[in-house]
A = this chain, B = another copy of it.
Amino acid sequence: MKTKQRRLPRRVREQQMIDAAVTAFSKGDYHTVRVEEIAEAAGTSKPTVYHYLGSKEGLFTACVRREAERLIQAIRRAVHEPPADAGDDPLRRGIQAFFTYVTENRESWTVLYRRAAVQGEPFAAEATRVRERVMAEIVDLVTTCARGGPRPSAPHDRRCPDAKDAQLMARIAVSTADAFADWLVEHPEESPDAMAGHVTELARSHLGQDRAGAAL
């Protein structure tokens, strides 16, 4: 057990604060979380939190930013630098990575999807922007991949599904992943992979079907 470290370099302390904040914000409402409790969990004091992150809103925003970045990187890695045994369908790999992230990083996802969504909040501005970057990433995934982008073997798919369809699919993918993550808590015997498969098919079928009849 490490004893409480004092005088850590700023970079490290900041990360500890954000760690603590993600946990806290995932457990309760933005307003329910007290800055002090985060400071304590991070092994520091309130003023230090303010010194580093500026305000409660800044703290929250930092969480959203960092976690969004992690999620985006996870998807990109799965698409562009897949491990050897990951299959050769990048759309599927991407969606699977997304499902896996949501499932395995519940706190992170909760903050990203559930907390940052509250409109009319002071923090909404920046948070919403970050949130949209995540959506854009997934839209991009769907668009690029369904179009056969990195996937050489699907030439008939070459049409670009229009942005509208892609956006809708992205949203459905996200909402499904969210529902599924909850579901998994009660049914740990299920695997995210199966669900990811369903959604991949749904996406490909929907994006193809609508325009070309039989995309599969």
Contact = CB atoms under 8 A, between A and B. Distances in A.
Nearest to A182: B171
A168 B182 CA distance: 10
A152 interface: no
| Interface residues of chain A: helix, strand, loop or mixed (majority) | helix
A175 B113 CA distance: 12
A172 B172 CA distance: 9
A29 B27 contact: no
A202 interface: yes
A107 to B, nearest CB: 12
Nearest to A28: B120
Interface string A113-141: 01001111100000000000000000000
B179 A29 contact: no
A206 interface: yes
Given A118-B28, A121-B28, A180-B172, A198 B206 contact: yes
Nearest to A171: B179
A125 B161 CA distance: 43
A87 to B, nearest CB: 20
Contact of A179 (B119, B120, B175, B183): B175
A121 B27 CA distance: 9
A203 to B, nearest CB: 12
Contact of A172 (B121, B179, B187): B179
A29 B30 contact: yes
Interface in A171-214: 171-172, 174-176, 178-180, 182-183, 187, 198, 202, 206
Given A29-B31, A119-B27, A164 B180 contact: no
A3 interface: no
B179 A174 contact: yes
Q: Looking at A30, A168, A183, which has the most chain B CB atoms within 10 Å of its CB?
A: A168
